[in-house]
């Protein structure tokens, strides 16, 4: 069995699912209104 460091870097999120580790990456976000999206209604 190997030892792993449990460091959590920003924009990289790891979640243990059973025997597997799932890694989710975020490349940023857009702070804008829904008016920029065509054909999609905002749910308020």
pLDDT in tens, the chain (44 residues): 455 666 666 788 888 999 999 998 888 777 877 677 777 666 66
pTM score of the predicted model: 0.40
pLDDT at 35: 74
pLDDT at 17: 92
Domain map (residue ranges) of the chain: 1-44
Backbone angles phi, psi at 39, to 5 degrees: 75, 10
Q: How far apart are CA 34 and CA 43, in angstroms?
A: 9
Per-residue three-class SS string for 1-44: CCCCCCCCCCCEEEEEECCEEEEEECCCCCCCCHHHCCCCCCCC
pLDDT at 16: 92
């Amino acid at each position: 069995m190997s030892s792993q460091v449990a460091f959590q870097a920003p924009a990289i999120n790891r979640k243990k699912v059973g025997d597997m580790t799932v890694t989710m990456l975020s490349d940023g976000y857009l702070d804008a209104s829904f008016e920029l999206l065509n054909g999609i209604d905002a749910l308020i």
